[in-house]
Amino acid sequence: MPSRVTRRAALTATASGLAALAGCSALGGSGDGGDDRMEFALDTLLATNKDSVSHTLHLQVSYDGDPIFWQSYDLGTEGNDSDPPADLLADHDWPEEPGTYAVRARVDDAETWETFTEVNSRDCAVLFLHIVEGGGVAALSKADSSCDEGEG
């Protein structure tokens, strides 16, 4: 059973991430699951529902071609204090070494999966998935400066 992030923690993480989006880049997803993959180190995977209706988000993550994460989450709407929350932190011990990741996302019962294989930082990447109006998925990434704090 996935651990739930408190609404306050998720909102704080999302707000912090959105405040830092000046250094982020939008990532194009592909519906074909192509193999053009870059190596990077995934530190955090966040998702938020920006649509006006609740959705189920299905996530699959592979690392160097091997599936390492598969989970589905019910996401409510922003500004609504009811359960489930609109934001989530995909709780997983991601590999520390850079590798080729494929993050696949599907909303509700959509037939196609959006696949994200690139980020704008190869070290310590944070990936933000957004369910947009109409139930599509968009992604943004940024480097996580907190990873540097653990080095030394």
Each residue's pLDDT tens digit, 19-52: 444 344 444 455 544 455 689 999 999 999 999 9
Q: CA distances (Å), 11 to each of 47, 49, 69, 94, 103, in order?
A: 11, 12, 23, 22, 22
pLDDT-derived band at 149 (thresholds 50, 70, 90) equals low
Give per-residue pLDDT as tens, 48-92: 999 999 999 999 999 999 999 999 999 999 887 777 999 999 999
d(C-alpha 82, C-alpha 131), whole Å: 18
Q: Residue 1 — very low, low, confident or very high, per pLDDT cuts 50/70/90?
A: very low
How many C-alpha atoms does 61 have within 13 Å on its Cβ side?
23
Is the pLDDT score of 13 beyond 90?
no
Q: What would the mean pLDDT of 120-126 be, rounded to a whole number?
A: 79
Q: State mean pLDDT over 88-113.
A: 95
- Percentage of residues of the chain with pLDDT beyond 90: 55
User: Which of 97, 105, 94, 108 is closest to 128 using CA atoms?
Assistant: 105
Give the model's pLDDT for residue 146. Answer: 65
Helix, strand and coil content of the chain, in percent to the nearest 5, comes to 15, 40, 45
Please report where in the chains the tokens 């590798």 appear, as a residue. 99
CA gap 126, 109 in Å, rounded: 26
Three-state SS for 57? strand
Task: Give Cβ neighbours of residue 70 (< 8 Å, ≥ 6 apart).
Answer: 59, 60, 61
Report the predicted TM-score, pTM, of the whole model to 2 decimal places. 0.73
At residue 6, the pLDDT reads 54
